[in-house]
Amino acid sequence: MHDVFPSLKNFSWQRGYGAFTVSQSNVAAVRHYIARQKEHHRNISFRDEFIQFLKENEIAYDERFI
């Protein structure tokens, strides 16, 4: 991060973090999701949705960092 974005001098990762990429073909869907995220999370919490995403994609996680 510091090499790519030198202006972020105070940037640091927390102990547990996730970083995900989005393919160009899904950018519109992700933008739509972000735009209506507040409404969406009235039905399912971010935490529950995030855990569901991790499980569906077989990504190991530690409950302490969620």
**pTM, full prediction:** 0.48
> What's the pLDDT at 37?
85
Round to whole Å and give the CA distance between 10 and 46.
27
Rg (CA), the chain: 15
> What's the pLDDT at 39?
87
> What's the pLDDT at 48?
92
What pLDDT, in 10s, does the model give residues 4-61? 888 887 877 777 677 788 999 999 999 998 898 888 888 888 899 899 999 999 999 9
> What's the pLDDT at 27?
94
> What's the pLDDT at 4?
82
User: Closest Cα to residue 37, out of 26, 49, 25, 27?
Assistant: 49
